[in-house]
Amino acid sequence: MPFEVRRVVTGHDANALAVILQDEVLHSEERLPGYHGTTVWCTAQLPVDNNDAVYANGAPGPKGTRALLRIAEMSPGETSTRHLHRTETLDYAVVLSGECAMIMDSGEVVDLHEGDVVVQRGTSHGWIATSDRPARMLFVLIDALPVQVGDQRLGDFLENYAGRLAPMPAGDAT
């Protein structure tokens, strides 16, 4: 289920005129079985420096500086709920096409349809494609302070249903 996304990046020339700096096709990679994604843009600092003419190949800067745009697609019936995850980010998730459900570690499930938007605030969650079409989503992730519930600091993690905890791979959110 690989897919492609065209990325057009603007900037300025030496005369301060707006120009196209990059116009290229990005190819998705399999991130989990049945789940492909591609990072469209990732900043290395906040606030963003629009004077930078180069893209950092998706590598975020140090913690607290990342803003990331990713597009992902899940195969029909495929689930990432085998891999519940939480990141120390504020995420905006937009269903571009298809349908999916978001499952929370509490067991709550919400059905999402084309055009729906989720504001994910550092919570443990997973996704499941629920229609006969792939579910394509757009994610914007912005670094956030860790969530604190009582005396417990909640951090990044990736958990499978067997209960094994694993650290979240660098830059591996959504």
Q: What is the mean pLDDT of residues 77-83?
A: 63
Q: Would you say residue 164 has pLDDT above 50?
A: no
Question: What pLDDT, on a 0 to 100 scale, did the predictor assign at position 170?
Answer: 44
Instruction: Verify cis geometry, omega within 30 degrees of 0, for the bond prior to 47.
Output: yes
Question: What pLDDT, on a 0 to 100 scale, did the predictor assign at position 67?
Answer: 81
Q: Would you say residue 171 has pLDDT above 60?
A: no
Note the pLDDT tens digit of each residue in 25-69: 999 998 878 889 998 888 877 777 787 655 555 566 677 667 888
Helix, strand, coil % in the chain, rounded to nearest 5: 0, 55, 45
What is the percent of the chain where pLDDT is above 90? 31
- Residues in contact with 70: Cβ distance below 8 Å, sequence separation at least 6, in sequence order: 37, 38, 39, 40, 138, 139, 141, 173, 174
CA dihedral 126, 34, 157, 145 (to 10 degrees): -70
Q: What is d(CA 174, CA 127) in angstroms, rounded to the nearest whole number? A: 9
Q: What is the mean pLDDT of residues 144-162?
A: 75
Contact 26, 40 (CB under 8 A): yes
Amino acid at the residue 60: P
Domains of the chain plus CATH, in order, are: 27-166 (2.60.120.10)
Number of H helices, E strands in the chain: 0, 16
Q: What is d(CA 22, CA 11) in angstroms, rounded to the nearest whole number? A: 9
